Amino acid sequence: MKQIFKIKKGQIQFDKEKITIKDDAKKQRWILTSILCLGAIYGALTFLKYFKSGEAFDYWFGLFIGLLNFIILVIWLLRSFRSEISLNEVKSIRIKQRFSNKFLDIKLDNRRLRRVNLNDDVSQLKEYIQTNFESK
């Protein structure tokens, strides 16, 4: 049985064998990856500028910005952005809320996470997940 739910920028479809997600995750991935890479490069260049100028600010600021962007980039690359996920690969599905943002976290067997941004009204999706996935 096919079940389709609207999400913030697209839709999510549950079939008997797979989950199909249509959103702008791939575009977001490339944009944020490039921003984080540029931030890491900026931090490294600021750190290297310390050896020319000798200012302690360049040393600490460059080190902080470079390492922070690099760590966030590694965490970001551990996420999954696939649009089709087989139900055999799904470890757990949960609806979470941080501040006013609601999202669906799909944890996969390969320890990756597929996050889907949701609308404000998630009651039908919550019921569907409770009846079909939490009994496993």
Instruction: Using pLDDT thresholds of 50, 70 and 90, give the confidence band for residue 23.
Output: confident
**CB proximity list for 65: less than 8 A, separation 6 or greater:** 39, 42, 43, 46
Taking residues 3-32, report their average pLDDT. 88
62, 77, 92: which is the final residue of a domain?
77
What is the rounded distance in angstroms from the CA atom of residue 46 to the CA atom of residue 27?
29
Judge if 73 and 102 occupy the same domain.
no
Q: Do residues 118 and 52 both lie within one domain?
A: no
**What is the pLDDT confidence band of residue 48, given thresholds at 50, 70 and 90?**
very high
pLDDT tens column, 68-96: 999 999 999 888 888 899 988 989 898 88
Cβ neighbourhood burial of 50 (10 Å; 0-12, 13-18, 19+): middle
Report the domain count for the chain.
2
pTM of the model: 0.76
Examine the pLDDT at 136 and tell me if it is beyond 60: no
18/38 same-domain check: no
Same domain for 90 and 116? yes
Given a contact cutoff of 8 angstroms between Cβ atoms, the answer to whether 48 and 81 are in contact is no
CATH number at residue 122: 2.30.29.30
107 contacts 91 by C-beta, under 8 angstroms:
yes
Q: Domain span at residue 100?
A: 3-24+82-132
